[in-house]
Each structure stands twice: as structure tokens, then as C-alpha cells.
Structure 1
Amino acid sequence: MAKTGANDQAVAPIAKEETSSIVKLEIPNRKLFDKMQEMGIDLTHSVHEHDGVIEADVVVTPSELATLQILGVKKKETIVTESQWRGNVAERNTSQALEQELASEVDTLKVLRANYFTNQSGDFLYLEVKSSAGETASTALTAKWMEGESEKSATLSRKVDYGEYLYHTILIEVDEIPREVTIESNLGGKATHKLTEWLGDLPDEPNEHYVKDFVDHYMDPNELYERAESLAEEFPELIEIVEMPYKTDGYRRHAQATIGEMTNNAIVLTSKAWGHKGGNDISVQLVDPDKKNANLKVTVKKNVITVQLATNRDKEITTTAAQAVAAINSQAKSLVSATTYRGNDGAGVLSAATAQLTDGLDAPESVSREPQTMKVIRIGKQKNGTKPGVLAYSQEHAREWVTPLVTIETAERLVRNYAHDKPTRQLVNNLDIFLIPTMNPDGANYSFYDYNMQRKNMKNHCGPTQSDPGYQNSWGVDLNRNYTVGSVFDGFIGASTSCTSSTFAGPEEGSEVEMRNMAWLVDEYSNIKFAMNVHSYGGYFMWSPGSYDAERNTLPRPTAGEEAFYWSASSHILNKIQDHRGTVILPGRTGPIPDVLYSAAGNSADYLWYEKGIYAWNFEVGADLYNKSTKRWEAVGFQPEFDEGHEEAMEFSNGLIGLMEVAHNQAKDKANPRTIADPGSGTYKDKVDVSFITSEPATIYYTLDGSRPNFDSPKLMLSGLRESAESIEITETSTLNWFSVDIAGNIENNYNPFGNGKKYNTATFKIK
């Protein structure tokens, strides 16, 4: 029997791979919560603290949970198990198969009703049209008609009752009653029908003609890009597909096999070729020659590696794992590289065995293994950089399946409502809109087809000691920790330098192509002024700063005016979210990231805000749902049953539209802000605290020495965490000069801080 190696702390059986579940834990104190982060425990975005006790949803294996319970953590409930994930995947596959089947040929359109009527308000057109492919939400019907010399068009809304597709319909006001209408499907179907007057009661239809609800299953990256390309072909005047310059690493891995049962007698083989390019064809045989005094010998024949193990005079195998590794690396180096198990000294003796190398990837062949070109859906009537840009990006974390649906649903709404909905037309005409369906296509494919809880991308930065197949679900970089502002490399917390941690920040700042693509996008399109990072789950709504150091010193806080704008804009966006089904994002989950969640070193929103000056928010799609029977709030998870995922996509698409409305309003804002010092000039005893009343959110620059204020002057900040603007304490006779700048860049009184004019505000305070 071989002795225990010096580097092998304990010879033990190789652990079997464990499945992960989302569980709700009760953590007794902040110190233990911080310890969990140091341990690399995979936290979701659902973390709440009350009376010093922290309740958090985490992704853990059974062994990790057992360790946490020993430390004093209490398990409250299991939220999502692997079997539930597989059920969601089966549901998605069924929906996807139906969509592919129905989309494989031109659909047939049947016009059920084509009416017009006139009431006290005006003339109206009403249609009911049934598509043979209407069971899928991606089937869109557009009506076209002539009003005089002008062609008009509008998208029909899909009507579904208790899960059954009925028809597509529209009720819309017209300036002139047409004689006929033509309905066209995005699948190629077409029908023309004469209009008849409706003489009875008005149809029982909603009085709005805003069309929504274009998603009916979770989509992998291939589907997302196909959907985007299809929309661009259908609406070439409104959509451009922007291809980012840096390709991802690809949904691919080298083929591997671990041979052996104990930590010191196992070897790991890794193919030189990617699995899909030959690595998966390699096999290895450890052969017992069953004779005396045989020599260790490695032969290679095509893709088969044969290792004849050495024996002694009693025919006993004597080859150790370390010896086999050296021989394989010498004789089979064109096919594979070999290592001992996780850095073990490999002193254990091998046994006869066979293995087939595999990359372990289960996606169908239709999912490309090659590096991907990340794509952006750019929407606007004038895509020349002259309009304010709005960016929304989804799925930095692969397992967040709902988030791409938010961007795809929003893209569909913008182009399909453009022709007949004036508010939509105003947004598309006056904004430059950038929608990224997935920031993490490789990781998303891995989440869909291999390991649903995959958070990171698929780039393996681990060295040989952490690159055996048992670690395959732990490789990758957390893309929302890889940015160059407030990173773990700068001393901020909430990210890890361990390559197997769920929050691994990468080997260095900006190491990942996904991050570099984002940097390229906002550099290339410098007109982008607003951004939304769409995450899940937990029902949060947040902005910068997003990280703090070990002493809880955050990145610089926004000015009082900037913070006021964040709150004001958030109120509008959150109201839009609430409109869909009443979901309320709680005040306690709204605000700067560290005030309502936890530090996230190196996150993308901080990069956009501090590096590029972009007003950047973070959605956390999927607010907890209140169960009336149990009187408890229940988490929804990253991949809820699609009925719930659909509702989340609908309400947060509302929110993205709300963000665009905020951007549009800012673009129209030409009014200068106004401010008043309270109290004003006068004589005061001992001291005076001066605050400001503003006409709108605006940053105030001021001086107290009588000099002209400019952009280098002190700025009015918040008085404290989640508090209002500070006041200025004046303890000796001083002249206060100031001006304000609103979010649109308008300067109070048209003052020029770079000139010599005196259009700034001034007040003199005499202190007795």
C-alpha cells in the first residue's frame, strides 16, 4: 500500500459531484454573514436583516449546508430543487418545440371580424384575426390600410383566455374609415378583407390599443439572437443589430476524465483539443499486463491512449499516479495533458481502468460551441448619435432566465406599437435605444443545458489543481465583479479572487471580453446617458455606489441633487412596474446598493456611473410574493415556473419603458433650475444653518469666501445615509455664492462658470 504523500493532507475517496438547491437560511449575526461571503457561499440577491438576524437565500450543496449549520446557520426552507429546474426545462422545451413546429411554414390567417363604427367620439376600426400559429406569443399580426393617400398600420394584440389562444385583435381610432384592411403575419401569412359597419353594441374589448405580451417561454441565447435578427429584418427602418467586437470564449470545454477512486491514486486527463473538435473522441486504458516485472509503457493509436502499468515479480501493479502522469505527458502530449488529482503528490498505486474523455456539455448540436459575437438591438428612428441613448442589458448572471425576456419583450413593444401608438413613437423618434438580450451567452447556454445554477461565464482561469471535472460547475468569472471601478483589486469587498468562488472577479480587472464589450459600447456610443442592468431575483431597485471596503467606506456618494434625481426617476419607473399587476418594490429595497443589499465590488453600474457619467440603475426582477394563506412572503427564485416568469417580464418591461420616458423627458427639458437659500441674507446670532429649496433635482455648487463658484467648487451633498440634502453651517460673517445644474445640463440663470459674469446667486450672512 502506498504511503500518504506529503502534499496529501488526507487520503480519501474522491467526492461525488453534488447538486445545488436554493435554500432560505437564518444567519444569527453580521459576522457570520461576512464569514459566509469569505467562504465563497453563493448568495442570491434576496437578503434581509431584522433585529440583527439576517435572512438570505443561498445556492448550496448538501455538504456546504451541513458546514453552515455546524457554524450556527439555521435552514428555514428549500425554495428551488434540481427536480423543479428540470421541470421548468421540460416546460420550456415543449413550448420551444411547438414554436418551431408552427414557425416552420407560412401561417394561415382567418379574418373573424373586420368592422368599423362611428360613435360620439369618432371613427373606429375593429379586427379579430386568427393565425394558425397563434398559439405562440412570437407570432405577430400587423394590420395595414389606406386613409386617403396615406398608408397606416398597427399591430394586433394576442387574446388568450385560460391558456387557450383565441385570436388577435385591435380596436383603434381612425381619421378616415378605410374600405379594406390587409393583415400580415411575421411568419408570412397574409389576408385582405373588406370592412363592414358594426351596427350592434360595441365589442367587449379594452379601449386601449397598446400591444404587449410577446414571450411565451424561456429563451436561450440562440433564440434571443434569432428573435433580434428577425425583428431587424421586419423593421429595418427602426432596428439595427450592433455586433460587439470581442468574441466570447464559447460554449466549449476541453474533454476530461478523472481515473481513480482515492485522492492519491487518481489522475486527471485533459484533451489538448476542445471537446467538440476531437477531445471527446479520446479514450484511455490503464492496463494490468498480468505478468511479472512489466515496465510502464504508454502507446498512442489514433485517439486511444494505452498505459501498460508496471508490475513487480509477484505481478502486483507498482505504477503510482505520479509516475503515470509523467509517462503520459511524455508519450501522449499531442493529445492530452495529465495531472495528479488536485495537486496531490500521486504516491498511490493505480488500478486497471478505462475512461472516455468528455467535455461534459449536454446542449444539442444546434447550440454552437464556437466563440460568440455578442449582439445589441439598437432601436430608433434616427440612429446617428444625435439622440440621447438609453441602454438596458440583461443576464450578466447566467441563471437569471427571466431577464432576457424583459429586453426582448421591450424591443417587440417598441417596434410593434410604433405605427399606431403616439407615446411609443415619441420614444423611438427621440431616443437611441440599446437593448442587450444577454451579456453572458456562454454561461446562459451552460445554465440551460448543464447546470441551472451557473452564475458566471465559462472561462476557466483555474490552474491544474482546480481544473478537474469535479470543479466544472465552479469555473468562470462573475461578470458583475469584473469591472474596473471599486473592484476587489482596489480593496473593496463583495467579490473573490478564488477562481472557484461564485463571485470570482477574474484574474484581474477587465479580464473578460464581456466586460470589454460593454466598455466598447459606451465608448462607441457616447450619447448613452441612462442605463438599466436587469438582474433577478428579489425585487430590488438600486443605484451607485455599489461597493464598500472592509470599514464600510463606500465609493463617493452622488450629490444631493443627483440622489434626488435617482429617487424621482425611480418613483416614475416603479409606478410603471406596479401598473401591470400591482407589484410594489418596497422602499426598503430601493436606493443605493449598499444601503439595501450588500457590497458588489467591481459591478457594471459603478463603472457606468463613475467612469462614464451614465445614470445607471439595477433592477432585481422577481419581487417576493405574499401568500395570504400562510401570511408569508415567498421568494420566486431565478427560474420560476413560466407563468410567474412571464408576469415578471411584463411588469419589468413596463419599467424599461418608464426609464425611456424619464430619458425622453430629460431630453425635452430646456428649463433652467431655480434655487432659494433658506434663510436668506440677514443678520444672525452665533451661527446660521442654510439649506436650499430647488425647483427640480439639481446639483448645487457654492463658495463661502465671496469668490465666483465653478465646477471645482464644493457641491451640496446628502446630510447622511438615506437622508436629505445637507445644510451649510455659517459661523462667521460670510458671502455665500452658488449656482445649480439640473440633470439635463441646464445651468441656473444661464450662468457661465468658465466666464467672468455674475449671474450666480449670492447671499450675505452677518454673524453677531
Structure 2
Amino acid sequence: MVKKKKQKWKRNFMALTAITGLGLSVIYPSLSTPADAAGQPDLPLPKVESYSIVQLEIPNQNAKEKLQELGIDLTHRAEAHDGIFEVDAVVTPSEVAMLKTYGIKVKDTLMTEKEWNARIAERQSAMQLDSRVQAAEDSVKILRANHYTNQSETFLYIEAKSSAGAAASTSLTATWTEDGVEKSATLSRLVDAGEYLYHYLELPVNKIPSSVKITSNLGGTATSAVTKWLGADKPGNPKKHYVQDFIDHYMDPEELYDRAQKLAKEFPDLVEIINMPNKTNGYRRLAQATLGTTTNTSVVITSKAWGHQGGNDISVEFKNPKAGNSPLNVSVEGKKVIVSLGTNGSGNPVSTAQQVAETINSKAGQLVSATSYRGNSGSGIVEPTSAKLTDGLKAPENVSRDPFTVKAIRIGKHRDGSKPGVLGYAQEHAREWVTPLVTIETAERLLRNYAHDGETKKLVDNLDIFLIPTVNPDGANYSFYDYNMQRKNMTNYCGPDKSDPGNRNSWGVDLNRNHSVGSAFDGYIGASTTNCTSTTYAGPSETSEPEAKNIVWLADQFPNIKFAMNIHSYGGYFMWSPGAYDANRTTLPRPTAGQEAFYWAVSDTMLNEIQDYRGTVILPSRTGPVPDVLYSAAGNSADYLWYKKGIYAWDFEVGADIWDKVEQQWKPVGFQPPFSEGHEEAMEFANGLIGMIKVAYKNAKDHQPPSTKAVPGGGKFTGPVNVTFDTSEPATIYYTLDGSRPTFESKHLQLNGTREGAEALKIDKTTTINWFAVDAAGNIEKNYNPLTSSKNFSSVMITIK
């Protein structure tokens, strides 16, 4: 590890991802703390603390190494400047105080628990509006339906208003007839300063229709004659009619999939819903209570039934029988467990926590289980007390506690596997609320622009598009309703020593660390295989989680998928494989030089699409292979898709930093920014996701073989020569240096180094270089076939005198 100390902060930061999860408090034992018979200190039980997302300033290497030892929940964002390291973290006041003793201070507070509550209130208000306006069939009013002709084109212009138009999910579609052919187009929704004004449409027509019909996706309709607009229009064509903006609040899993089902019902010829085969564990918990006030006198009680299936009805009472020399006894009366504590001759309780736990397990084991607190010996004397068990879950009753069927929205005119597939999937990490909105906005745009936008129609007709709004619905529900900083799913693999309700916010598996390529189980860095409360806990084994199994199943079931985007937040990163490295910083195999060039080339397309929305620039320092711009992420899903399935797979980190002109520095936006910012992030990264879909289309239509040129070409040289290759497009070059035919088993041109271009071949003796190039679409230079005896490969002879 000495070698690591010499590496830059970004390169060394990976170790921070493998530390333990956030605890709810920090306890400092003192020398005067009482100890039990086993020598364990008897401490007050930890108290629940509030938490904040903060920006930590780490002054030096020693402080950085200390942070690596502590149980702090870190976000994805890390920066280094002027010798100061900065990371964003989720912390409690106790943790802040502890960090301060090591010189680690809070530079800025990004989000508090109070602000989370404000986000929830904001969401609830939007949901209530959505529910209110869509409670019944809406009414539609056409404000105007006009045609006009300027110097170059004839246009149809429509304004219409829905009684439910205040909800972004309300969509209006216009239909009309031109020369006996029915045409349609979706109207754009216009909102100003929070007020819904109307929906509108403006696009060129070949022939003026006599009338138009407006239909709402809620059922309302209206019809109007098309009349001439008398006012003169300015010369020039208006902008292309392209509708967008179909989101107006953060959506939980039920809302996301309800929207998906509605789209499938509205567009049956273009959409189907795929039910994933591996159901989640469910948004559910066993009911629990910790009875006692200190670590050696407390007993943790856990129901055998899930909370919603009866566990929440159980109560436990520890009572003093008020008689001398009474034996410890446990009885069950319906859903109540009564513990009559053992007493001495004076009638004082003498039963220890361990004795009480053992007796409960013996006498009430059909209803509950009991343990001492977090592995303590439980030698302290139990005091009379009582509690009702609870699963602690706060979501409303309409949020199902049952195992959840994860769904994919499949969009395409031909959904039979004959078209190239594209996958976009979001919210592996529950607290990343913006990411599902990217998929829903993308789905809406593809479907509602299909009828009138030629480019959208081209994409939907020629591709097979899969969108998973939330990979982790259980964790997402927990993030929305219980603990907004939840990263993992809700499956608890902790043993009795960590399964008390005080650890409830730290249970679960990091789904983006649970895959089988470059995993922590194989020695790669960036996840924990031993600490069940770590924020990057990889689970008990590779691909143990149903959510991870679903990604694998989808890639297996649909081998036509060639491109994928894993959507995360926050920080504004754009990354690809390799995503993991080992303790020696040996990464998973780097892509070939040609593949890396393709990753960079198409990134330009996607990042330009993102910038087009509001000018957001994904920085070059945050673009590239994961280890080069962030840290090692052992067992991530994009690596699985790339290395096992050959799918070009990227990672978005939506939510790019915003430049503060006053303070002259970048400011992070957080996992759950105010919706006004979250909306903008979703809109711009929906642009980026559609950019990837455009890349897939272009790749599918690419039938032009690449061409290459060796530089310098063949000839006579007096000394060693470094040979490079010019290519007409990003392409992998397979070559031989012994005069043999090149094949797919031959060496291929590698990268010269991290973030560098292709290597040069050093030729120091007379050599014949034979090679061929293959582009990302699979086209082979000169249509050479390496699997036959074909000889139309490229060749040069370098003669060294």
C-alpha cells in the first residue's frame, strides 16, 4: 500500500468506497465506563441523530487515511485542488465532531433532514395536484386551430387546453386528414411561472385540413374547424415541432410503473411491458423492538412474521412479579409476550438480558426471536419495561409490502429481436431520485413524437429500446418514505449482532457491487464482502440479489442489446469500462485502442446532446473509464454487460456541478435537489440518453468498412521505426509481425497508456506487418474474412538496414 500513497487523490479515492455504512450515532467509551462480567463496557444505547449531506475538507494525507478507516457514508463525488481534498458525505453531528478531531472539517452543508422533508412536501403537493386533476375524464377546449402560409411553407397551428393540463403527465394529441390520410401529432405543454397556459402545436402540412380533433390521454376530446390566420408571419421556418417535458415531480416506483402501464395502453403498437422474472424481497421488514437502556441490559426482540403480516401486532412486557425468589418465566397471550422476571429474596429483578433472551426463544419462539444487544454478553440485569414491535415502515398503505415485479418498458415498431437493442436502466441506488425521471421522459418523448417527428420515427422503427425506470424499487420506496439517504436494497444479511432496529438504515446490498465481473469476491476494490452495514456491501455472493439477476436475465434474454446506459447521480460524470481494479491497481482488461476510440467518439455525440438543453458541460476530467475519473467500483453492472455480453455500456452520473460565479468554484447539487433543478437534470440527460439511442441507430446503419494506413508505410530504414496507424473511424486493429495471416486470435493494438491513444509498434528488424481493422459495427476492412483463407488483409514490409 506504500505505492498507493504516491498516487493522486482521484486514483487513491477508491478505498473510501469500501468502508462501513453510516451509523446513527458515535459512542466514545471512557475509562470509568462500567463493565460486565465479560469485561464489556455497559454503555447507553445509541440515540438516533439527524443527518446531513456535507462537503468535507480533508487537509492532508494523514487525515485522508484516517477517513478511510471510519464508517462514513460517501457519495460519488470527489475533488482535489490546491492540495486540499474534498468529498461529499452523509454524516451525523457526532460524526462531524469526531472528524473534526482529525482535522477534517465541514466546508459546506448541501442538504439537511429538514430539506428532505421539504422535498417530500413538494412531491406530495405535486402528487395531490396530479391526483386531483386526473380523478376523472378531463374536458378539452380548443382555443384556436389555424393555418397560415409564409414565404416557404404552409403551417397548422393549434392551441388547446385540458382541465387536467396542470399535470405534466396529461398529453393532448391532434389528428386530422390530408388527402385521405389520417395524420397525428402530440401537442407541447406550455407552463409559465408555474401556471399551466395551454398545449400547442405548430408544424408544416402539405394540404390544409378542414378540421382537427384533439384527444387527451385521459379521455377528453374536442373538434374544431381549421381557419385561416389573417396576421402576417415573419419570414423563415419556425423550429421543428418536438414535444418534451412530461415530468413535474419526483416519482416513486408505483407511480413510475403506473405511468409505464398507461403508455403501453395508449401505444399498444409501439410498447410492451416486460415483467422481470426475479421478484424483489419487497418493501417489508420484520417487526422489532429493543427493550432496555444500556448495551448489556437490553434485549432485541424480532417477530417471526413480517410486520404487515402480524408482526406489528405483537407486544412484549418485562414485568416484576413483586414477589421474592420468583423464577424467570415467559408466557404468551395471543399477540402479547409476557416476561415475568426472576427475583431475589427482596423481590428485586435478577434476570440478565441473556437469560431473558434464551427463555423467550424457548417459550415464545413461535412468535418472536430474542438476542442480547449487538453481540454483548447480556450479563446486565433487565429492568421492567414494555414495547410494541414495529417494522418501522412509514409508506402509506397503497405502497405494497409484497415482493415487487421489476418492469422494463420495451419500445419499438418491431419488437421481435430483429432490430438492434438499446438498454437504459436507472436507480440501482435508491437515493438517486432524478435518474428514473430520465427514463420516463425518454419514453414519453419517443412515443409522443413518433407520429410527427421523422427522426423519432426512424429511431423507434429501427431499434428495440428497453428502459427500466427503477432497478431497486424496494430501496426507492424506503428512500422516499423512511430514510432518504438509502443507497442499497432492503435485504438484511446481518446476523443478530447487527440486526437490531438501530441499524435499520444500514441494511441492504449495493446492487451496483453485486455483479460477477471484477467483483470484491475476486479481489477487486470498491466494495465490502464482510461488513453487512457498509454502504458498498456486495452481498453474500456474486449476483445474489434478484435485482442484479434481472439485469443478467434481460441481457441473456435479448442478445440483440448492443448498447446500454446505467443512470446514476450525482456529479456530472460520463464513464465506461473498466470499472474496477485490484489492490495493485491492475484494472480489468482495458478496451482495445479502437474500442476506446469508439467510446470517446460517441461520447461526443451524447455529451453534445446534454449540453444542448441548457448548456451543461460534462467536464473532460469527469469523462472516461471509471478508474481514470472516479474510483474502483468492484462488481458493477456495466462491467458485466461489457465483459460478459460485449455490450457497449456507459454510466451517467446526472447532476453536474454548477459554477458559482461569486465564490468562483463548482457547487454540487446533491441526490435530491429541489425539483426545479431535478427537472432540468432529467431533461438534459434524457437528451443524452436519446443521444445514445441515436448512436445505436447510426451504428446499426453503418455498413462501410473502415480503412487504415500504416505510418510510415513500407520501405527501407536505417534504424528502429515506430509504426502507427491512421484509421478512417474508430476501429480495432488485429496484426501479426511474423508474416502470418492475421485473425481474431492475433494481437490487437492496445492503448499506449491511461487516457492515451493507441500504442506504436516498435520495429527494430526487418518485419512484415499484416493487419486488418474492425469497427464497432462489425465491418471488416476490405471485407476481409479472418475465418477463411482469404488474403485481402493489409500489409507493409519494414526493412531495417
**Shorter-chain TM-score category?**
over 0.9
Cα offset, 1:43, TM superposition: 1.7
Decide whether the 8 Å contact of 1:3 with 1:348 is kept in 2: no
CA distance in 2, matches of 1:727, 1:759: 23
1:22 and 2:39 correspond: no
Distance 1:221 1:203, change over 3 A: farther
What is the SS of the residue equivalent to 1:124?
A: strand
Match of 1:123 among 131, 138, 154: 154
Decide whether the 8 Å contact of 1:107 with 1:187 is kept in 2: yes
Cα offset, 1:168, TM superposition: 0.1
Decide whether the 8 Å contact of 1:252 with 1:276 is kept in 2: yes
What is the SS of the residue equivalent to 2:639?
A: helix
1:530 and 2:563 correspond: yes
Cα offset, 1:629, TM superposition: 2.5
CA distance in 1, matches of 2:40, 2:746: 61
Which stretch of the first structure deviates more once superposed, 177-186 or 52-61? Answer: 52-61
Cα distance per residue 1:94-113 (max 9 Å; x no partner): 00011011111011111111
Distance 1:547 1:8, change over 3 A: farther
Cα distance per residue 1:714-764 (max 9 Å; x no partner): 110111111111100001111000000000000001111111111111110
Cα offset, 1:9, TM superposition: 2.9
Q: Which residue of 1 aligns with 2:193?
A: 162
What is the SS of the residue equivalent to 1:718?
A: coil
Correspondences of 1:346-495 after superposition (within 5 Å): 346-495=378-527
1:224 and 2:256 correspond: yes
CA distance in 1, matches of 2:536, 2:633: 9
What is the SS of the residue equivalent to 1:76?
A: strand
Decide whether the 8 Å contact of 1:26 with 1:56 is kept in 2: yes
Decide whether the 8 Å contact of 1:20 with 1:453 is kept in 2: no
Correspondences of 1:355-754 after superposition (within 5 Å): 355-497=387-529, 498-754=531-787
CA distance in 1, matches of 2:329, 2:263: 60
4+ aligned runs moved over 6 Å, structure 1:
none
Cα distance per residue 1:475-525 (max 9 Å; x no partner): 000000000000111111111121000000001111100010100000000
What is the SS of the residue equivalent to 1:680?
A: coil
CA distance in 1, matches of 2:696, 2:571: 26
Distance 1:668 1:7, change over 3 A: farther
CA distance in 2, matches of 1:308, 1:409: 59
Match of 1:176 among 191, 207, 215: 207
Output the amino acid matched with 1:237. Answer: D
Number of residue pairs matched?
Answer: 767
1:99 and 2:124 correspond: no
Decide whether the 8 Å contact of 2:372 with 2:378 is kept in 1: yes
Cα offset, 1:38, TM superposition: 5.0
Which stretch of the first structure deviates more once superposed, 60-69 or 418-427? Answer: 60-69
Cα distance per residue 1:523-543 (max 9 Å; x no partner): 000000000001000000000
CA distance in 2, matches of 1:203, 1:311: 95
Output the amino acid matched with 1:639. Answer: Q
Unpaired stretches in structure 1, ≥5 consecutive residues: none
Distance 1:111 1:380, change over 3 A: same
Q: Which residue of 2 aligns with 1:84?
A: 115
Cα offset, 1:203, TM superposition: 9.2
What is the SS of the residue equivalent to 2:459?
A: helix
Q: Which residue of 1 aligns with 2:799?
A: 766
Cα offset, 1:66, TM superposition: 2.8
1:284 and 2:342 correspond: no
What is the SS of the residue equivalent to 2:742?
A: coil
Distance 1:729 1:509, change over 3 A: same
Q: Which residue of 1 aligns with 2:20?
A: none
Decide whether the 8 Å contact of 2:708 with 2:725 is kept in 1: yes
Match of 1:42 among 57, 60, 73: 73
Cα offset, 1:288, TM superposition: 1.1
1:113 and 2:147 correspond: no
What is the SS of the residue equivalent to 1:71?
A: coil
Correspondences of 1:209-358 after superposition (within 5 Å): 209-358=241-390
Match of 2:181 among 150, 158, 161: 150
Decide whether the 8 Å contact of 1:243 with 1:376 is kept in 2: yes
Match of 1:135 among 159, 166, 169: 166
Decide whether the 8 Å contact of 1:680 with 1:763 is kept in 2: yes
Cα offset, 1:632, TM superposition: 2.3
Decide whether the 8 Å contact of 1:5 with 1:344 is kept in 2: no
Cα distance per residue 1:79-101 (max 9 Å; x no partner): 11110011000000000011011
Distance 1:309 1:554, change over 3 A: same
Decide whether the 8 Å contact of 1:156 with 1:169 is kept in 2: yes
- TM-score under structure 2 length normalisation: 0.94
CA distance in 2, matches of 1:310, 1:6: 19
CA distance in 1, matches of 2:418, 2:792: 30
Cα offset, 1:39, TM superposition: 3.6
1:63 and 2:94 correspond: yes
Output the amino acid matched with 1:631. Answer: Q
For the aligned residue pairs, the C-alpha RMSD in angstroms reads 1.4
Distance 1:203 1:61, change over 3 A: farther
Q: Which residue of 1 aligns with 2:19?
A: none
Cα distance per residue 1:669-700 (max 9 Å; x no partner): 00000000000111112200000000000000
Output the amino acid matched with 2:420. Answer: P
- TM-score under structure 1 length normalisation: 0.98
Cα offset, 1:30, TM superposition: 5.6
Unpaired stretches in structure 2, ≥5 consecutive residues: 1-32
Cα distance per residue 1:370-392 (max 9 Å; x no partner): 00000000000000001110000
CA distance in 2, matches of 1:561, 1:585: 23
Which stretch of the first structure deviates more once superposed, 96-105 or 21-30? Answer: 21-30
Cα offset, 1:297, TM superposition: 1.3
Distance 1:38 1:556, change over 3 A: farther
Cα distance per residue 1:544-578 (max 9 Å; x no partner): 11111111111111111001100010001000000
Decide whether the 8 Å contact of 1:485 with 1:610 is kept in 2: yes
What is the SS of the residue equivalent to 1:202?
A: coil
What is the SS of the residue equivalent to 1:622?
A: strand
CA distance in 1, matches of 2:721, 2:65: 43
Decide whether the 8 Å contact of 1:4 with 1:347 is kept in 2: no
Decide whether the 8 Å contact of 2:150 with 2:233 is kept in 1: no
Decide whether the 8 Å contact of 1:393 with 1:534 is kept in 2: yes
CA distance in 1, matches of 2:120, 2:709: 59
Which stretch of the first structure deviates more once superposed, 329-338 or 25-34? Answer: 25-34
What is the SS of the residue equivalent to 2:571?
A: coil
CA distance in 2, matches of 1:337, 1:508: 26
Output the amino acid matched with 2:218. Answer: L
Decide whether the 8 Å contact of 2:96 with 2:105 is kept in 1: no
Cα distance per residue 1:258-300 (max 9 Å; x no partner): 0000100000000000000000000011111122112211110
Output the amino acid matched with 1:524. Answer: Q
Output the amino acid matched with 1:436. Answer: I
